[in-house]
A and B are shown apart, each in its own frame.
Chain A
């Protein structure tokens, strides 16, 4: 047991300050200290991806990150992705296309796939499967996860299209 360190980070948009043991894993910090239990632990060797969160917008496995390493950063978990009032496109995709069964790996897989869509908004099926390399799901056989990601990609494209229309309408109005 080491002495505790003061850390602060913005988690899902809210500033959090704590005294934490240096050895505490980020995933335990999020789950046990901040009660954000949507992020899960599926392995202890960093293969399964159930614990995937974002640090400053980049997806990381929170089971192989120390909480102190996230000091001063912005962390996003599945709870920050979207809620029932406003679901993220990836959450809608998983629901619409039966992308989950037991739902245990789902938060991590959704986080990873939402990050993939940011980098590649129109991935092919093989790019989606390739992009899921760091995630293990034991229930679905992955097929409906692929469909869920494709669904999300379509929704995001439509949302972007709409935004552009609104923007150009706004610009038109200003003229």
Chain B
């Protein structure tokens, strides 16, 4: 049988999706189902003086209108699920509906349920809310200023937390030969999966069971939290993530609307559907990034880096969302030295409340920001000392011999070979020739730029002990179950909850390889807490490293048991049995064998099993890795900036990634492409704009630039394979590498193109207008 591990196999997910047979949340239709909509605050900051729902309730077809007064006393607030220790953190509970005050434009004020979606929307217009508008503040630095509007009365100075895990002596910077200082602004972006959020809730008023189908990346976490919010025991609450149309971090979060749908379903004894519209999504679903990052990088004139000090002032929005506080602290702060051997480092992060939509994880979560600041700073350092940006990287990248390597923040990088990916990328790019071309074009007055990103990121979350130590309100192990049916067909159940990553196929390849059976014989199930053991979901590029780890262990257990049964039937010892191509064979005795299907039948019939053996052929594993995994690589971006318009043209993009052992190269490439599009999107086009009084001005796809097909050249990708030693598959995780690496590669390339103008840095997104204006200003100065 052909090898499955490492094979380019087309996806098992696809037949349903390409024929219109997917089952997304909004596709679910239940008998008697009614529709909900949320009335949202038009103000960023206001007192609610009164709410009058009389007219809305009288509107034909309206079943209920709930306000905070109705639901808040009988529901629990949605909590902050990452309570970072040691930083005086002040999470503010998020009530299902705002009652006294609204804290950002879009916060829910009333929840309407009606016979159809159109009526529900009509009814919103009939609710009369009297507000007293208050001054609002949207930028974190403004919110920290004295006299700034206070978002939560008991949080002084709007400071949600102040995290400083390590300090560094000023003398190191005072005495350093070279210190480069730079302020970066990692702008606010919106994850924007193509399917917005939504939920369908159904309650059985007899038995008290509730099912909520919702757009979730982690249904077990949603069950754990919604159980408390709704006061329904975990044993009676079933959360199902059906087909989920992308997440990118936005669907990790625990929100209020899904719980309100549950509450209404129970109250009305009717199934309730709530589906977010896109312009609503822009207000109501977590945003991301929005960090002011101040960097000081010290070193010697020969290019040796000696110390790094970073201050991150992070805009958390109006609440500390589910994982929000962990992003600019743990995720960002512990990775600030990137792939470089910088002996000393320190970080401080201020988390700030503002009158904006809360920020939380978005593809990479903290690591893109960490990578951005160090990749940009190292370029600035090289320019300062007149060294080539490639040379300074070669000099400071962690050496292959140093692994496992402990960085200055105390993280232990599992494995790596940074030089290998760098050299491979240089070869693909034909680097020397690129620099020649740059000179030729410069002579013609054209602006070409080449940018690097030699990155490493932390993923494969992660050891549960560490999760506990860093205040993460959950475990980070994962479960997989392998169940062999009497026919020899196999069902796999995993607590990971994929939503586009191709896990159905990838996991089937792992099991098919272990058992020697075709992947068509294997079905992978996920996303249903009613049938799947506790697990923690899909985010942080953890599914293959952790869930796949559990899967490999469970599959091995099945093989062990099957071998015992085969040995029993073939009257030999299990050690003499080998499994090859789906056949249990007595070593060295051709013909003495049992097929996988025969053993499956024997195990399930249990007519004649070895003494003391339990029937059936099934195994489960709960795998808790000893460490995170650290994928890495080198990206090279080539751009040309149009002198007349400031438009950045992406000429080439080369990505060499090392994500550990690759199970399906096509799926891995797809993940890289998607990540690149989002990371490049942040560098060049995407960005959120608030007005001074807190109105979201970039609240639709007309105003917020989503990357489109003709924005990109064909990406040139390749990979190296350095297995991770911390999980059975040697996998490292690929979901977030593209996003993490690409943003600084693009910005470095544009800055390289603009060097003749003396422009050191520009804030993202690097729109034509911004680049053009910078060139004009510089001309005036010269």
Contact indicator A95/B18 (Cβ below 8 Å): yes
Residues of A within 8 A of B248 (CB): 138
B244 CB to nearest chain A CB (Å): 7
Q: Quick one: closest A residue to B15, CB to CB? A: A84
Question: In B20-72, which residues have CB < 8 Å from any A CB?
Answer: 20-24, 26-27, 29, 60-61
Task: For A39, give the chain B residue with the smallest CB separation.
Answer: B20
Q: Is the CB of A138 within 8 A of B192?
A: yes
Q: Are A141 and B246 in contact, CB atoms less than 8 angstroms apart?
A: no
A136 touching B708 by the CB < 8 A rule?
Answer: yes
A-B contacts, 19 of them at CB < 8 A, read A38-B22, A40-B245, A77-B20, A78-B18, A78-B19, A81-B20, A91-B19, A96-B10, A98-B10, A98-B11, A101-B674, A102-B499, A103-B13, A104-B22, A104-B195, A136-B194, A137-B709, A139-B674, A141-B707
Q: Min CB distance, B94 to chain A, in Å?
A: 25
- CB-CB contacts of A23-46 with B at 8 A, as 1s and 0s? 110001001100111111111110
Bound CA–CA A31/B27 (angstroms):
8
> When the two chains form their complex, are residues A144 and B245 in contact, meaning their CB atoms are under 8 A apart?
no
Contact B122 A138 (CB under 8 A): no
Identify the closest chain B residue to A77 (Cβ).
B20
One of B22, B246, B670 near A138 (C-beta < 8 A):
B246
Q: Check A95–B11 contact: CB distance below 8 A.
A: yes
Give the 10 A-B CB pairs with smallest separation, nearest first: A38-B20, A104-B245, A102-B500, A103-B17, A141-B673, A141-B677, A47-B701, A101-B500, A37-B27, A132-B709
What is the chain B residue whose CB lies nearest that of A101? B500
Stretch at the interface among A121-129, A153-161, A167-175: A121-129
From known contacts A40-B24, A47-B702, infer whether A130 and B710 are also in contact, taking CB-CB under 8 Å.
Answer: yes
* A48 vs B27: C-alpha distance when bound (angstroms): 19
B710 and A138 contact, CB distance less than 8 A: no
Task: Give chain B nearest CB distance to A2 CB in angstroms.
Answer: 10
Q: Are A103 and B709 CB-contacts (below 8 A) given A95-B11, A139-B674?
A: no
B296: interface (CB < 8 Å):
no
Return chain B residues, CB-CB under 8 Å to A44: 277-279, 700
Structural contact, B714 and A110, CB atoms closer than 8 A: no
Contact B706 A95 (CB under 8 A): no
Q: Which of chain B's residues have a CB closer than 8 A to the CB of A40?
A: 24, 26, 194-195, 245
B194 to A: closest C-beta gap in Å: 4
Find the A residue at minimum CB distance from B703.
A45
Apart from the given pairs A98-B11, A110-B18, A141-B675, 5 other A-B contacts in the complex at a CB distance below 8 Å? A28-B117, A48-B278, A101-B500, A105-B245, A142-B709
Per-position contact with B for A1-41: 1 when CB-CB < 8 Å, else 0? Answer: 10000000000000000000101100010011001111111
In chain B between 697 and 756, which residues have their CB closer than 8 angstroms to a CB of chain A? 700-702, 706-710, 712, 714-715, 738
CB <8 Å contact, A136 and B706:
yes
* Inter-subunit contact A95/B20 (CB<8 Å): no
Check: A162 CB closer than 8 A to any chain B CB.
Answer: no
- The answer for the CA separation of A98 and B717 in the assembled complex, in Å, is 15
CA distance A102 to B429 in the complex (A): 31
Scan residues 732-782 of chain B and give those whose CB is less than 8 A from a CB of chain A.
738
Query: Whole-angstrom distance between the alpha carbons of A45 and B708 in the complex?
Result: 16
Beyond A45-B279, A79-B20, is A140–B674 a contact (Cβ under 8 Å)? yes
Among B16, B117, B194, B246, residue most surrounded by chain A Cβ atoms (within 10 Å): B194
Docked Cα-Cα span, A166 to B345, in Å, equals 73
- Set B502, B673, B675, B700: member contacting A45, Cβ < 8 A: B700
Interface residue count for A (Cβ, 8 Å)? Answer: 62
CB-nearest residue of chain A to B278: A43
Query: Complex: how many Å from CA A40 to CA B61?
Result: 26
Asked if B482 CB lies within 8 Å of chain A CBs, one says no
With both beta carbons as reference points, the residue of chain A lying nearest to B501 in the complex is identified as A101
For B18, B245, B666, B673, the residue with the greatest tally of chain A CB atoms inside 10 Å of its CB is B18
In the complex the two chains form, what is the Cα distance from A105 to B600 in whole Å? 40
Q: Does A146 contact B20, Cβ atoms closer than 8 Å?
A: no
Contact call B701/A136, Cβ cutoff below 8 A: yes
CB of A165 closer than 8 Å to a CB of B: no
Q: Select one of B196, B277, B502 contacting A101, CB under 8 A.
A: B502
The answer to whether A100 and B17 have CB atoms under 8 Å apart is yes
Tell me if B710 and A133 are in contact (CB < 8 A): yes
Among the listed B11, B499, B712, which residue makes an inter-chain contact with A142, where contact means beta carbons less than 8 Å apart? Answer: B712
Check A119 for interface membership: any CB of B closer than 8 A.
Answer: no
A-side contacts of B118, CB under 8 Å: 1, 21, 23-24
Contact B700 A43 (CB under 8 A): yes
Q: Which among A31, A47, A128, A130 has the greatest number of chain B C-beta atoms within 10 A?
A: A47
CB of B360 within 8 Å of the partner chain:
no
**Whole-angstrom distance from the CB of A124 to the nearest CB of chain B?**
12
* Count of interface residues, chain B, beta-carbon cutoff 8 Å: 63
Tell whether A128 pairs with B709 under 8 Å between CB atoms, given A35-B29, A102-B194, A138-B674. Answer: yes
Interface string of B1-15 (1 = CB under 8 A from A): 000000000110111
Please measure, in the bound complex, the distance between the C-alpha atom of A159 and the C-alpha atom of B296, giving whole angstroms.
63
From 210 to 260 in chain B, residues with beta carbon under 8 angstroms from any chain A beta carbon are 243-246, 248
From residue A136, how far is it (CB to closest CB) to chain B in Å?
A: 5
The CA of A20 and the CA of B334, in the complex, are separated in Å by: 58
Is B667's beta carbon under 8 Å from chain A? yes
Closest CB in chain B relative to A60 CB, distance in Å: 17
* A140 to B245 CA separation, bound complex (whole angstroms): 12
Distance between Cα atoms of A107 and B23 in the complex (Å): 13
Complex Cα distance, B708 from A81, in Å, reads 24
Assuming the contacts A125-B714, A132-B710, A137-B194, asked whether A100 and B14 have C-beta atoms less than 8 A apart, the reply is: yes
Residue of B nearest to A42 (CB): B194
A95 contacts B22, C-beta separation under 8 Å: no
Given contacts A84-B19, A140-B670, A142-B677, contact A105 B194 (CB under 8 A): yes
Report A33 CB to chain B, min CB distance, Å: 11
Is A144's CB under 8 angstroms from B673's CB? yes
Alpha-carbon gap, A128 to B708, bound state (A): 12
Taking a contact as CB atoms under 8 Å apart, the answer to whether A104 and B194 are in contact is yes
Nearest-CB distance from B737 to chain A (Å)?
Answer: 13
A145 within 8 A of B: yes
Query: In the complex, how many angstroms separate the beta carbon of B601 from the nearest chain A beta carbon?
Result: 29
Whether B14 and A48, one on each chain, are in contact in the complex, defined by CB atoms closer than 8 angstroms, is no
Give Cα A31 to B500, complex, Å: 22
Q: A48 and B194: CB pair below 8 A?
A: yes
CA distance A37 to B500 in the complex (A): 18
B19, B248, B712 pick with most chain A CB within 10 angstroms: B19
A155 to chain B, nearest CB (A): 14
**Contact partners of A64 in chain B: CB under 8 A:** none
Contact with A along B487-501 (1 / 0, CB 8 A): 000000000000111
A146 to B712, CA, bound (A): 11
Cross-chain contact A103 with B673 (CB below 8 angstroms): no
Instruction: Give the docked Cα–Cα distance between A74 and B706 (Å).
Output: 32
Contacts of B194 in A (CB 8 A): 40, 42, 48, 50, 102, 104-105, 136-139
B380 within 8 A of A: no
- Whether B17 and A106, one on each chain, are in contact in the complex, defined by CB atoms closer than 8 angstroms, is yes
Select from chain B the residue with minimum beta-carbon distance to A102.
Answer: B500
Q: Is B119 an interface residue (CB 8 A)?
A: yes
Please name the residue on chain B nearest to A142 by beta carbon. Answer: B709
Contacts of B700 in A (CB 8 A): 43-45, 47
Chain A residue with minimal CB distance to B676? A141
Residues on A with C-beta less than 8 A from B85 are none
Complex Cα gap A81–B19 (Å): 8
In the complex, A54 has a CB within 8 A of chain B: no
B706 & A102 in contact (Cβ 8 Å cutoff): no
Of A39, A94, A137, A143, which contacts B14 at CB under 8 A? A94
CB of B135 closer than 8 Å to a CB of A: no
From B245, B279, B675, B709, name the one whose CB has the most chain A CB atoms within 10 angstroms.
B709
**Residues from chain B with Cβ under 8 Å of A31 in the complex:** 26-27
Q: Is the CB of B710 within 8 A of A104?
A: no
Interface string of B283-319 (1 = CB under 8 A from A): 0000000000000000000000000000000000000
Q: Is B574 an interface residue (CB 8 A)?
A: no
Cβ of B193 under 8 Å from chain A? yes
Q: Is A135 on the interface with B (CB-CB < 8 A)?
A: yes
Give Cα A95 to B60, complex, Å.
47
Return chain B residues, CB-CB under 8 Å to A47. Answer: 700-702, 706
